[in-house]
Amino acid sequence: MEQNDNSKKIEKKINLCNKIKLLKVDHRIIGKKLNLYHFQNESPGMVFWHNDGYIIFRELQKFLRLKLNKYDYLEVKTPFITNISIWEKTGHWKIYKEAIFTTYSENRNYCIKPMNCPGHIQIFQQGLKSYKDLPLRIAEFGICHRNEPSGSLHGLMRLRNFTQDDAHIFCTKNQVIKEIENCINMMYEIYNIFGFKKFIVKLSTRPLHKIGNDKLWDQTENNLSFILKKLNIKFQYQIGEGAFYGPKIEFSFFDCLNREWQCGTIQLDFTLPKCLNLFYINKHNKHSTPIIIHRAILGSLERFIGIIIEEFSGYLPIWLAPIQIIILNISKKHIQYVLKIFKIIQKNDIRVKYDIKNQKISFKIRKYTIQHIPYILICGDKEINNETISIRNSFGKDLGFMKIHDIINKIKKEINNFYFKKRD
């Protein structure tokens, strides 16, 4: 009995510590403090991105585009609003209609897209496809809307309007294993950049409400488990948690509070292509049905930004930081030197600002350290006389004096290498 009481006390203490820690890293509080975004009751579950927050969003997209190019994806853009008939054909309307926003115009019912696959299928169907065109990798930063219950909405983590880093790979049966391996390699590459190395991988099997026969589901589930075993990836089964059109691999990682976040998904789909009569011309000049691999790496970009803001307590890697350098003067006589340094840095495509207000240097240093700006440059008499700059990082560490070209080279290298050092 006493042991149980002690266990409960320990559990209570851990929960209290986590709550206190969460208050310090809550992305909603940090977002407001750093002027990144806000939320309003007039648009529940939707983000108002401010300039600095939207820089983070765009830089994340830019980074992902480099990976899309590396893995030979074609980026597309599909309509937000499509006729309800498309969603009825794919089966989404029957399964998800409660979560789909609709609109009405000229005696027609339309859906505001909750996902991107039907749009990518429409693109595949434009023009005759040959086996030589496959694999066809179609990617989109797709803006989706889902009518999530109001009680489940939570900052950037659970939204009604969000952006998916979505892709659909149309391929032959012989290409499936290689394509899924490429998806997994791409995921690990991206997660490692942010320091996420502790994963849980789950294989979600057929749900109660599904399309396609059991034989087809057996085949697809066996294919995915074979690939994971081949790559020596430990995984656990999630019975009945697959999509209605196929099983999926889910990648989850743990944050600083040991909370689990599911981000990446890979879904193997043999059924939708058959239902929609998709085909390509095979090497025997006959019709064959392609297979679709649905994949997302970060899932929702907004949610991932929320995760990394909390994980790193607002100290973003320099390549994501809205302002990468702030230049400060000690007194009025140093203003011209600040402006000279500012122009040199700005020409090197570095996001830089200056503050030449008549305020104490200690006040300004503290102000911009609190704003988590990666580098603070200070200009005074010593710096002007030696043609150097005093440099401090966002953690308050004094890095000494450096020449301007050395600072530029250091920072450009960190930006180009997607460098990130986590706070100790």
Active site residue 287: no
Catalytic residue among 113, 294, 364, 372: 294
Distance CA 269, CA 245 (A): 6
Active site residue 62: no
Q: State the Cα angle at 303 between 297 and 309, rounded to 5°.
A: 110
Catalytic residue among 113, 120, 166, 351: 166
Active site residue 117: yes
Who contacts 139 (Cβ-Cβ below 8 Å, separation ≥6)? 68, 73, 74, 75, 76, 165, 166, 167
Active site residue 164: yes
Is the distance from CB of 31 to CB of 39 less than 8 angstroms? no
Active site residue 256: no
Beginning with the edge strand found earlier in the chain, give each strand of the sheet holding 352-355 in spatial order.
Answer: 352-355, 325-329, 375-379, 389-393, 398-402
Instruction: Please name the residue that has the structure tokens 């302002």.
Output: 323
Distance CA 267, CA 34 (A): 37
Residue type, 75: E
Catalytic residue among 92, 111, 117, 206: 117
Catalytic residue among 129, 146, 334, 372: 146
Q: How far is CA 44 from the centre of its chain?
A: 21
Q: Cis peptide leading into 135, omega within 30 of 0?
A: yes
Beginning with the edge strand found earlier in the chain, give each strand of the sheet holding 161-171 in spatial order.
Answer: 74-75, 136-145, 161-171, 291-300, 260-269, 248-254, 199-204, 236-238
CA distances from 399 to 10, 402, 407 (A): 42, 8, 11
Active site residues per annotation: 117, 146, 164, 166, 168, 248, 294
